[in-house]
């Protein structure tokens, strides 16, 4: 197949000269034309449209000025208007131009990937799959309108579901008050849970993963920091109410073996998948999630943690903020394209330690990039006894919801049973 179609490009331009209003329907951009002359002509048409000047041979000639001779002069513009078989085929010819552009883009991007020095076949496969998805999305009809009657019926179904199930849609957390504030982790959302090291981020993630598994969701966990055996230690300790240090050492007391066996049996029934490969790129994560989504429609994704994800070989260590921004926007896209919640842990910078009030703020997100912009919810975990040995809030975690795109903000409190790595409700919330 040819990477361009001369006749289709001519027909698109000629149709607009014959019927100027078609410029308002066109979904093409200047760069999507293969021929440089056609790019210039279409660019002049767009310029006239933006100036609200009618398009014809005279106005085009005046707009193009010196470039007119470069494209063949007035005679070529007249030739374009005479080469149109039928204006009614405008959309078909425009589609051909678009498809050829996507072919050229795909081939060029493949060559760039091959020339980028990627030497990991898994990263190469993920990059190519990402490209495939991108081209597929672009090749779909650009008319994304849905008639209100369709949306209203879907809304009615959703209201009925809430009425009979008695709860908001989305994946619930282990915090009853936290759910009340956030409205749960909804599909197609990126949810950031951030804290300083050793505050309890991973334990919170695992508690929620088990909760969602028990609710019937398929759970995907990407553990970039910790091997899967350590995750099993923590999940078993929390599920069985056994001291985590004894689980880790395998030194269970006699009365704990029965709890261990029962807990192990319950956990093994849950639909939880763990990928503990270190140094994963965001393309590899998206690829893995797409595959799992095909098998398991009701999915939630957890990532521990965001700043350990790589943006791919095109980023260097010198532009880490830009890379993290690319990663956060990619995770948001992943949530939307797979119709699932994505929950990513994030580290906070040391600036927290320099303030008298150690409660985290948005500016404390390390290498924040576009995290604040991309996230639908941002929840900070704060332990007062982490900083103040005399704190009255022993073993109390504050869940500070600082951003909630579709709901309220506020603070919920939970009890952190540190020996078990377990979060339990405290029934105290401050909702704004």
The catalytic residue positions are 225
Which residues, 6+ apart, have CB-to-CB distance to 131 below 8 Å?
A: 106, 109, 110, 113
Interatomic CA distance for residues 294 and 340, integer angstroms:
12
DSSP assignments along 97-157, one per residue: HHHHHHHHHHHHHHHHHHHTT---HHHHHHHHHHHHHHHHHHHS-S-----HHHHHHHHHH
Decide: residue 214, CB within 10 A, 0-12 exposed, 13-18 middle, 19+ buried.
middle
For the chain, report the end-to-end CA distance as a whole number of angstroms: 59
Q: Which residues is 273 bridged to in the sheet?
A: 220
Which residues, 6+ apart, have CB-to-CB distance to 199 below 8 Å?
A: 381, 382, 383, 386, 397
Which value, to the nearest 10 degrees, does the dihedral of the CA atoms of residues 325, 288, 337, 404 take? -50
**Residue pair 288/220 in contact by the 8 Å Cβ criterion:** yes
């Amino acid at each position: 197949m040819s990477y361009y179609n001369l006749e289709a490009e001519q027909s698109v331009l000629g149709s607009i000269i014959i019927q100027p209003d078609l410029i308002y329907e066109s979904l093409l951009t200047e760069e999507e034309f293969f021929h440089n002359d056609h790019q210039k002509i279409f660019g002049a048409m767009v310029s006239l449209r933006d100036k609200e000047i009618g398009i014809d041979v005279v106005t085009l000639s005046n707009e193009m000025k010196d470039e007119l001779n470069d494209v063949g002069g007035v005679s070529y513009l007249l030739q374009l208007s005479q080469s149109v078989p039928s204006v009614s085929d405008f959309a078909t010819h425009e589609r051909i131009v678009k498809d050829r552009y996507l072919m050229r883009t795909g081939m060029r991007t493949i060559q760039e990937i091959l020339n980028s020095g990627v030497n990991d076949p898994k990263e190469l496969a993920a990059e190519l799959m990402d490209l495939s998805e991108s081209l597929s999305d672009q090749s779909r009809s650009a008319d994304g309108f849905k008639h209100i009657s369709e949306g209203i019926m879907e809304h009615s179904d959703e209201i009925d579901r809430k009425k009979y199930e008695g709860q908001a849609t989305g994946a619930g957390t282990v915090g009853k008050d936290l759910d009340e504030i956030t409205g749960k982790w909804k599909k197609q959302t990126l949810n950031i849970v951030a804290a300083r090291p050793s505050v309890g981020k991973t334990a919170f993630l695992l508690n929620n993963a088990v909760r969602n598994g028990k609710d019937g969701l398929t759970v995907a966990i990407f553990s970039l920091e910790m091997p899967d055996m350590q995750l099993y230690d923590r999940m078993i300790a929390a599920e069985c109410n056994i001291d985590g240090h004894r689980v880790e050492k395998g030194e269970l007391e006699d009365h704990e073996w029965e709890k261990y066996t029962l807990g192990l049996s319950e956990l093994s029934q849950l639909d939880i998948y763990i990928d503990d490969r270190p140094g994963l790129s965001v393309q590899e994560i998206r690829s893995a999630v797409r595959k799992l989504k095909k098998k398991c429609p009701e999915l939630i994704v957890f990532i521990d943690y965001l700043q350990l994800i790589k943006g791919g070989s095109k980023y260097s260590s010198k532009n880490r903020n830009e890379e993290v921004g690319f990663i956060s926007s990619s995770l948001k896209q992943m949530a939307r394209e797979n119709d699932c919640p994505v929950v990513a842990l994030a580290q906070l910078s040391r600036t927290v330690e320099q303030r008298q009030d150690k409660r985290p703020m948005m500016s404390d997100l390390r290498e924040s990039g576009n995290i604040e912009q991309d996230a639908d919810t941002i929840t900070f975990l704060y332990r007062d006894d982490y900083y103040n040995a005399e704190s009255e809030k022993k073993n109390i975690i504050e869940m500070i919801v600082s951003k909630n795109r579709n709901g309220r903000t506020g603070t919920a409190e939970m009890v952190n049973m540190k020996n078990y790595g377990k979060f339990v409700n405290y029934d105290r919330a401050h909702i704004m």
